[in-house]
Structure 1
């Protein structure tokens, strides 16, 4: 059976973040998402792989000078 497409609300709930965070990650962290008309759609398996590869990791802090 084909994997269902999830909405931004669904994927936000899946990850335990807000929908605004999802949209930020699409724009700034190359979160795997597919535009269908005006809507973003997701597949949980792609998102889970992206998270495991560190896609959602916080940017590392720059080393202090010295």
Structure 2
């Protein structure tokens, strides 16, 4: 739980659906800023870009953990 920071709230939900030969994971993040640092639009753009990088790193890790081992 965040004690101090720029967010009033941030929630990320993950959805797992069946896909051809496996599963697909989708993440959706919603947030509300508690304070404006530069401006609401600019802050939201920067936060979305950073969160996208964080989620892509999570998905890269998840894919590596669940990849079938090569047999060649």
Specify the structure having the higher radius of gyration (Cα).
2
Q: Tell me if TM exceeds 0.5.
A: no
Structure in which a larger fraction of residues adopt strand: 2
TM-score, normalization: structure 1? Answer: 0.29
TM-score, normalization: structure 2? Answer: 0.27
